[in-house]
């Protein structure tokens, strides 16, 4: 089972000059793409079957919504650790192990369902465990794509993965309804277990290229990698704007995902076939929306697309509230699917363009944490509210909330990547210590001494304030600027890092955009270049041996 809930990514059309089908020239990409689509069909069949199974085990709206909570919560809890893990272990081996565990888990639960031993608690536990494995798979799966095809085909590969994801979303739920009607509720789970075997076989067959020789720095340690990712996110205003906009959308859009099984069963009085058709309509509409999205984005811009998608989601929530006939629910699903892909793809691209390559996996994991955290919280809230005031009122409340969020969140504009060069600049001179410094030795204090015209102080401090964010994004955990009271115009900037190796990594992380910020500060320097000093905490002396 691959991660069928991961945010799809759609690259801007200008990002690649190659054919949109060019990645299929790579045999391993083509094989993995087909295997992934089949596996994701199984995953969506399983998701649909889980929601329908819960309506039979316990039709309480809050309990039914907990299936969505159980499927979203692990993405919130484990996305960032999974992103760091994908950067420090062999990704192919990690994927194979996680997929094997997935097959075992799904097969065991399918057997329990077939034997009639499943209950609400067991179903929620299974959903949580399956989503945990998916959360551990997602960052590694996204990270191997550049290893499958040339860099010039990366944008096309991302677009093809998005199309494959939404094709499986359209086909899977409809097949789930058919399988349940013909072979029983356990059949979708069995299919998902079998479909995952194809992904395992493709990964075993794949022989990834060996890492390039001559790497100077060793891989980051797991704990430090997580801290570096969080520190970068805290000092990246473009990413923060994307996260805020994402939370403000998903917390309300989660309502129809969590309550759709009850809409199909109770409000429209349909069966599993109708539920599968409704989920399939969302996926089919998302596929169509994916093809229309580039033109829409060129016309409206990223912020405009998100606003239009949010308005579409509000309209779908209103229609879900009014739905008493299958046709109305179907129209609501078609609108919801197109709106969903418009918002989620735009937000995902915004997150990507705000992240330099060295932290992209962890940054996207933080985006996933925000998204699934909002889905988890929203699913629980709307499920509980539906139990208190009814399904229609809960949908209307979610729609009103999404509508109010539009003007409240407009101040956080989405980044587009225009004019922001996040490629490594490598402009910092190499540090040559007088003697060998152990890589783990630290903390490290770096000082930069500036001599400026005394009258430029206020303007200089405003410029150096922007430099503080750059230091934090690239690894510094403390920053300060100090003025020499005995020498007007002399300022000393300080920042600290955990260890010497973290400072060496900082040299590799500085981007061309960071260089531009630093150039503005350096213009205030009166003579020559600012003086940079590196200070390392002395090694603790060995304690004397006791007699």
- The 10s digit of each residue's pLDDT in 11-46 is 333 333 446 678 888 899 999 999 999 999 999 899
Of 202, 191, 203, 171, the C-alpha closest to 103 is: 191
Residue 58 lies inside a defined structural domain of this protein: yes
CATH of the domain at 462: 3.30.70.100
For residues 312 and 332, give the distance between their C-alpha atoms in angstroms, rounded to a whole number.
9
For residues 166 and 280, give the distance between their C-alpha atoms in angstroms, rounded to a whole number.
9
**Residue 483 predicted with pLDDT over 60:** yes
- Host H or E run for residue 38: helix 27-57
Same domain, 190 and 313: yes
Same domain, 27 and 74: yes
Give the DSSP letter of residue 430: P
Same domain, 475 and 521: yes
CATH of the domain at 228: 1.20.1250.20
- Whole-number Cα distances in Å, 170 to 4, 162, 300: 12, 12, 27
Same domain, 273 and 200: yes
- On whether the CB atoms of residues 138 and 43 are closer than 8 A, the answer is no
Same domain, 228 and 283: yes
Residue 213 lies inside a defined structural domain of this protein: no
- On whether the CB atoms of residues 315 and 335 are closer than 8 A, the answer is yes
String of b and e for 447-463 (b: at least 16 CB within 10 Å)? bbebbbeeeeeeebeeb
Residue 423 lies inside a defined structural domain of this protein: no
pLDDT band at 433 (very low <50, low <70, confident <90, very high): confident
Q: Which residue, 409, 428, 459, sits at the end of a domain?
A: 409
Domain of residue 298 covers 13-208+222-409
- On whether the CB atoms of residues 168 and 191 are closer than 8 A, the answer is no
Same domain, 398 and 463: no
Sign of CA dihedral 137, 140, 141, 142: positive
Q: Is the pTM of this model over 0.95?
A: no
Same domain, 370 and 502: no
Helix ranges, 323-359 (H): 326-353
Q: Which residue has the higher pLDDT, 230 or 319?
A: 319
Same domain, 398 and 486: no
Range 478-493 average pLDDT: 92
Range 83-92 average pLDDT: 79
For residues 363 and 346, give the distance between their C-alpha atoms in angstroms, rounded to a whole number.
16
Confidence (pLDDT) at 8: 37
Residue 96 lies inside a defined structural domain of this protein: yes
Same domain, 450 and 402: no
Confidence (pLDDT) at 3: 42
Of 130-134, 212-216, 362-366, 397-401, minimum mean pLDDT range: 212-216
For the chain, what is the domain count? 2
The per-residue pLDDT for range 120-176, each reduced to its tens digit, is 999 999 999 999 999 888 878 877 776 787 766 765 676 677 778 777 877 887 788
CB atoms within 10 A of CB 21: 11
Q: Which residue, 384, 409, 434, sits at the end of a domain?
A: 409
- On whether the CB atoms of residues 312 and 260 are closer than 8 A, the answer is no
For residues 235 and 83, give the distance between their C-alpha atoms in angstroms, rounded to a whole number.
19
Same domain, 500 and 373: no
pLDDT above 70 coverage of the chain, percent = 91
């Amino acid at each position: 089972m691959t991660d069928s809930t991961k945010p799809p990514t759609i690259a801007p059309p200008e990002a690649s000059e190659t054919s949109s089908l060019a990645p299929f020239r790579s045999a391993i990409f083509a094989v993995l793409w087909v295997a992934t689509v089949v596996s994701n069909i199984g995953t969506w069949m399983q998701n649909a079957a889980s929601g329908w199974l819960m309506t039979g085990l316990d039709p309480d709206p809050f309990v039914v919504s907990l299936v969505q909570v159980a499927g979203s919560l692990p993405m919130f809890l484990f996305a960032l650790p999974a992103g760091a893990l994908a950067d420090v272990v062999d990704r192919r081996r990690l994927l194979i192990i996680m997929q094997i565990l997935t097959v075992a888990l799904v097969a065991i639960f399918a057997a329990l369902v077939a034997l009639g031993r499943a209950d609400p608690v067991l179903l929620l536990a299974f959903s949580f465990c399956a989503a945990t494995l998916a959360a551990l798979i997602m960052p590694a799966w996204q990270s191997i794509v550049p290893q499958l095809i040339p860099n010039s085909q990366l944008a096309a590969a991302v677009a093809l993965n998005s199309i494959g994801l939404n094709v499986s979303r359209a086909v899977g739920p409809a097949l789930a309804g058919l399988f349940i009607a013909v072979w029983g509720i356990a059949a979708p789970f069995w299919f998902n277990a079998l479909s995952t075997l194809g992904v395992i076989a493709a990964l075993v067959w794949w022989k990834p290229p060996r890492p390039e020789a001559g790497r100077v720095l060793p891989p980051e340690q797991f704990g430090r990698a997580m801290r570096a990712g969080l520190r970068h996110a805290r000092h990246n205003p473009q990413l923060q704007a994307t996260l805020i906009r994402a939370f403000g959308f998903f917390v309300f859009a989660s309502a129809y995902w969590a309550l759709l099984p009850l809409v199909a069963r109770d409000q429209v009085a349909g069966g599993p076939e109708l539920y599968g058709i409704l989920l399939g309509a969302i996926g089919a509409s998302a596929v169509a929306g994916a093809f229309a999205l580039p033109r829409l984005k060129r016309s409206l811009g990223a912020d405009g697309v998100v606003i239009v998608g949010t308005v579409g989601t509000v309209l779908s929530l209103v229609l879900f509230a009014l739905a008493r006939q299958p046709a109305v629910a179907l129209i609501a699903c078609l609108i919801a699917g197109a709106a969903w892909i418009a918002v989620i793809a735009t937000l995902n691209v915004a997150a990507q363009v705000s992240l330099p390559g060295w932290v992209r996996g962890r940054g996207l994991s933080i985006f996933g944490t925000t998204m699934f955290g909002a889905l988890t919280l929203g699913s629980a809230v709307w499920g509980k509210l539906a139990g208190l005031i009814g399904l229609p009122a809960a949908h209307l409340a979610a729609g009103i909330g999404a509508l109010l969020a539009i003007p409240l969140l407009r101040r956080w504009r989405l980044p587009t990547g225009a004019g922001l060069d996040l490629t490594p600049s490598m402009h910092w001179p190499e540090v040559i210590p007088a003697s060998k410094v152990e890589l783990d030795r630290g903390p490290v204090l770096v000082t930069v001494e500036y001599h400026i015209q005394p009258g430029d102080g206020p303007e200089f401090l405003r410029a150096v304030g922007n430099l503080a964010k750059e230091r934090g994004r690239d690894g510094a955990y403390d920053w300060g600027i100090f003025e020499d009271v005995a020498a007007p115009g002399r300022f000393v900037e300080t920042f600290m890092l955990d260890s010497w190796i973290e400072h060496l990594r900082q040299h590799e992380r500085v981007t061309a955009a960071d260089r531009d910020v630093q150039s503005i500060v350096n213009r205030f320097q009166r003579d020559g270049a600012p003086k940079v000093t590196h200070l390392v905490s002395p090694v603790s002396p060995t304690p004397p041996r006791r007699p």
